[in-house]
């Protein structure tokens, strides 16, 4: 039998969602009645078909069993950890790049006073956590020495208020361990823990939550004609295999966040396929993070209407992701994105 995947689709939000859930005409996503769905898409590498929930029982036995197993994972409540509350989606991850060369804000916050000011602003604006990085991983970037990366971020990490949740954006096990010892709450390795093989040992040793991101190769060459057999399903299989590997080496906690890595070894078509179908990853049973802030796909779509901060494209794609049940949005403009979410939620009550 071909390998099949289940994607929740035809979502409802707000008061309409609550009504349909109460009438048992829709299933709440992650146990949250504010967002629900009444159809699924059954996907293989050759076919895809949308069906209403009421037709699941008419599927062949083996396929029906798989779909029901996936639905259980899609609908079950997500356990909160650290400063996340998965009952109040989306959570907002602010971005603080302490680098001279990040793609959007390189050089803006690579001085201590500027970084502290921005960090405080992001938390005051409502960020649930802030992702701090000392190495640019933009397309075409080269790796920097651990000593340079650490020197960029160490003073700010030492001043972190323990009430605030901080994520460390790094590919290096040495930086991970130093950051964890200073109170970092989450590790965000854009390489999917492929860059530094010792990073797995650090994750296992400290039992720390982490983001598992998909990336096709290293930043210096990842945008050189990236190819997939099926980008959506290739990433799904990557996640599934990695999660099994983590369990096999003794990483037994489920405090894992999935990030399909928009812009990391993907062209416009790949990125659009991922964002439009992001809900497929709910069937893995783990929270989803999406980093779409200011990225190149916004420029490629908007063409003459591109802008330096790409705020319009960031907000529109953030709201779309929220409607697909994405639990964490990684954004630069925390205040403006939260403002858009508040207005949207009020309008859809």
pLDDT in tens, 140-196: 777 889 999 999 999 999 998 888 999 999 999 999 999 999 999 999 999 999 999
Beta carbons within 8 Å of 71's beta carbon, 6+ residues apart: 6, 27, 40, 56
Mean pLDDT, the chain, whole residue set: 93
- At 110 the pLDDT is 74
Crossing angle for the helix pair 173-181 and 146-158, to the nearest 10 degrees: 20
Is the CATH number 3.20.20.20 carried by domain 91-347?
A: yes
Whether 204 sits among the annotated catalytic residues: the reply is: no
138 as an active site residue: the answer is no
Select which of 330, 342, 345, 349 is catalytic: 330
Active-site residue, from 138, 295, 296, 310: 295
Residue 327 contacts by C-beta under 8 Å, 6 or more apart in sequence?
A: 30, 78, 84, 86, 89, 90, 91, 257, 287, 288, 289
For residues 202-231, average pLDDT:
89
Say yes or no to pLDDT of 27 above 90: yes
Reported as a single tens digit per residue, the pLDDT across 89-117 is: 899 999 999 987 555 565 677 789 999 99
**Domain residue ranges in the chain:** 5-75, 91-347
Task: Check residue 93 and give its pLDDT.
Answer: 97
Predicted model pTM: 0.94
């Amino acid at each position: 039998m071909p390998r099949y995947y289940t994607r929740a689709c035809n979502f409802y939000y707000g008061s309409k969602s609550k009504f349909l859930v109460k009438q048992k005409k829709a299933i709440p996503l992650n146990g949250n009645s504010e967002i629900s769905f009444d159809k699924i898409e059954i996907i293989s590498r050759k076919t895809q078909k949308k069906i209403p929930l009421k037709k699941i029982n008419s599927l062949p036995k083996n396929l029906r069993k798989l779909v029901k197993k996936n639905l259980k994972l899609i609908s079950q409540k997500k356990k909160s950890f650290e400063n996340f509350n998965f009952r109040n989606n989306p959570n907002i991850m602010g971005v603080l790049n302490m680098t001279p060369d990040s793609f959007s804000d390189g050089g803006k916050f690579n001085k201590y006073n500027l970084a502290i000011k921005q960090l405080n602003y992001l938390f005051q604006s409502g960020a649930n956590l802030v992702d701090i990085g000392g190495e640019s991983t933009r397309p075409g970037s080269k790796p920097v020495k651990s000593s340079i990366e650490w020197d960029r971020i160490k003073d700010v990490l030492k001043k972190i208020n323990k009430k605030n949740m901080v994520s460390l954006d790094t590919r290096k096990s040495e930086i991970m361990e130093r950051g964890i010892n200073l109170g970092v709450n989450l590790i965000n390795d854009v390489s999917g823990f492929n860059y530094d093989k010792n990073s797995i040992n650090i994750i296992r040793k400290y039992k720390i939550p982490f983001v598992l991101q998909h990336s096709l190769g290293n930043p210096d060459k990842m945008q050189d004609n990236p190819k997939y057999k099926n980008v959506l399903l290739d990433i799904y299989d990557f996640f599934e295999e990695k999660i099994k590997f983590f369990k096999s080496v003794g990483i037994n906690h489920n405090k894992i966040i999935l990030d399909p890595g928009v812009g990391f070894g993907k062209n416009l078509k790949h990125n659009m396929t991922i964002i439009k179908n992001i809900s497929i990853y709910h069937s893995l049973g783990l929270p989803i993070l999406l980093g779409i802030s200011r990225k190149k796909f916004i420029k490629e779509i908007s063409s003459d209407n591109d802008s330096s901060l790409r705020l319009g494209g960031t907000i529109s794609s953030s709201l779309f992701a929220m409607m697909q049940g994405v639990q964490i949005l990684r954004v630069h403009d925390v205040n403006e994105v939260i403002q858009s979410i508040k207005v949207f939620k009020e309008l859809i009550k």
